[in-house]
């Protein structure tokens, strides 16, 4: 099994996100984002780390794009920072932000790389958060205005768009659990955020397609394989509820199936925020769905967790191999998620828009040894190929991520990159996994 086994039109890439790599948090007219403010709060981020400089991609984008080219990766996924383009989220456009992303896009194309753009990867302008952010229905209009600006500025060259990145995560962690920006808590924040994000997912896609009818428009869904701790009714039902929340919450409204209320009763309370015509406006026939999978979770019934009465059994308590995120190393999860989505839904095309792992890399002079990551990627690609051969409409795979970066609440501790970054000197070193991916993409390495 090698690259050619996937077919000549299979899309290979690498994925990044603006807040995690750009830095330059207040340069050239950029406004503050909710993550700029959240990271300034003590105790929110591992060791109170921040992303004010991060990987300095803002200044070093040419160097990092050169690394993508050196690794023979043909597709580069990156996101646009809303507050770099619209410092207040709405109103006056920051032309320096437009110029910056024009330079990034143009440089990708000049190096023979295809830009894949994510419109929203969690960094809401702080000015909009002060108006309620995703809990305020006006965000649908705010978002539409932002998308319109982006498509008019970049749509002549960008042919692949993703509307939202993992909406279940940014609404759940940011508006229910409060562990991500903006740090809000409770069902009364979560449910309106969910509904407004789902509306934006479809409305944003319609705007892109209207202006760029020949482009491919997708959105990305965080998916985790969920299995009951034991096959008894209470754990099976808990897993079903967790699955409705984790894997079904945003894709099913887009497909015209509505919210998965039958399996997660608290979603009935969404009716408070649903207005006439919303059910139809939630629907969009995406050109592709981005699947983002890293692991599986074992679920048990729990009366201590409100609303879903389910919680995962931590991987380090299950005597299994784990990553630095305490996620189980379980490559079959990706195969099972891909086949599950094929069985459940009629999808035109699936792209794995994120898959990767954080391990403790071994620095040996100029060599970064990360054999565990190589094994992880190798095994996950085998899962992809197996799924594709069995009829899953899988047409692409993107590794998370190019460089070690700011991993949200985890700070810089977990290292996912194919490229090591010394954050004091900003020196880059390609890891062995990067060279492995390069070799595979150049048809010089078979999957074992």
Matching residue, tokens 């990867």: 121
Handedness of CA 100, 165, 115, 140 (dihedral sign): negative
Distance CA 342, CA 142 (A): 34
What is the rounded CA–CA span in Å between residue 261 and residue 406?
35
| Of 203, 216, 354, 372, catalytic | 354
Structure tokens, 216: 């491919």
Residue 297 designated active-site: no
**Residues in CB range of 273: below 8 A, 6 or more apart:** 137, 191, 192, 195, 196
203 is an active site residue: no
DSSP string spanning 82-108?
Answer: HHHH-TTSSSS--HHHHHHHHHHHHHH
Which tokens in the block code for residue 281? 């406006």
3-state secondary structure of 311: strand
**Residue in the block written with tokens 């920051």:** 94
Cα–Cα distance for residue pair 286/205, rounded to 1 Å: 8
Query: What letter would DSSP give residue 399?
Result: E
Q: Is 9 exposed, middle or buried, given 0-12, 13-18 or 19+ CB atoms closer than 10 A?
A: exposed
Q: Which residues are catalytic?
A: 166, 354
């Amino acid at each position: 099994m090698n690259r050619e086994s996937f077919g000549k039109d299979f899309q290979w890439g690498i994925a990044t996100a603006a807040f995690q790599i750009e830095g330059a948090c207040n340069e050239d007219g950029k406004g503050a984002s909710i993550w700029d403010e959240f990271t300034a709060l003590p105790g929110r981020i591992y060791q109170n780390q921040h992303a004010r400089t991060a990987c300095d991609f803002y200044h070093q984008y040419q160097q990092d794009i050169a690394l993508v080219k050196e690794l023979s990766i043909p597709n580069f996924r990156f996101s646009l920072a809303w507050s770099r383009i619209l410092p207040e989220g709405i109103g006056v456009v920051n032309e320096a932000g437009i110029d910056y992303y024009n330079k990034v896009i143009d440089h990708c194309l000049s190096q023979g790389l295809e830009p894949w753009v994510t419109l929203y990867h969690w960094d809401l302008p702080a000015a909009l958060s002060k108006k309620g952010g995703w809990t305020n229905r006006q965000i649908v209009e705010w978002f539409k205005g932002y998308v319109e600006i982006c498509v008019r500025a970049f749509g002549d060259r960008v042919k692949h768009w993703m509307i939202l990145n993992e909406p279940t995560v940014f609404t759940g962690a940011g508006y229910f659990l409060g562990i991500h920006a903006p740090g809000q808590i409770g069902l009364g924040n979560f449910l309106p955020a969910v509904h407004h994000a789902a509306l934006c997912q479809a409305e944003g896609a319609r705007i892109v397609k209207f202006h760029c009818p020949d482009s491919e428009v997708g959105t990305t869904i965080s998916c985790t394989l969920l299995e009951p701790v034991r096959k008894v009714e209470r754990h099976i039902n808990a897993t079903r509820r967790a699955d409705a929340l984790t894997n079904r919450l945003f894709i099913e409204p887009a497909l015209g199936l509505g919210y998965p209320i039958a399996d997660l009763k608290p979603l009935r309370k969404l009716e408070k925020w649903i207005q006439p015509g919303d059910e139809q406006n939630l629907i969009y026939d995406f050109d592709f769905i981005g699947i983002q999978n890293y692991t599986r979770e074992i679920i048990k019934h729990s009366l201590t967790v409100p609303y879903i009465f389910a919680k995962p059994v931590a991987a380090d308590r299950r005597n299994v191999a784990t990553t630095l995120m305490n996620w189980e190393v379980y490559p079959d999860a990706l195969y099972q998620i891909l086949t599950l989505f094929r069985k459940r839904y009629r999808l035109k095309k699936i792209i794995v828009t994120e898959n990767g792992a954080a391990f403790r890399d071994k620095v040996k002079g100029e060599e970064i040894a990360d054999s565990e990551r190589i094994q992880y990627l190798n095994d996950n690609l085998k899962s992809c190929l197996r799924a594709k051969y069995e009829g899953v409409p899988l047409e692409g795979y993107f590794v998370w991520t190019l460089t070690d970066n700011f991993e949200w609440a985890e700070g810089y501790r977990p290292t996912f990159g194919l490229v090591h970054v010394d954050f004091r000197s900003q020196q880059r070193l390609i890891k062995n996994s990067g060279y492995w991916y390069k070799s595979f993409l150049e048809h010089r390495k078979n999957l074992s």
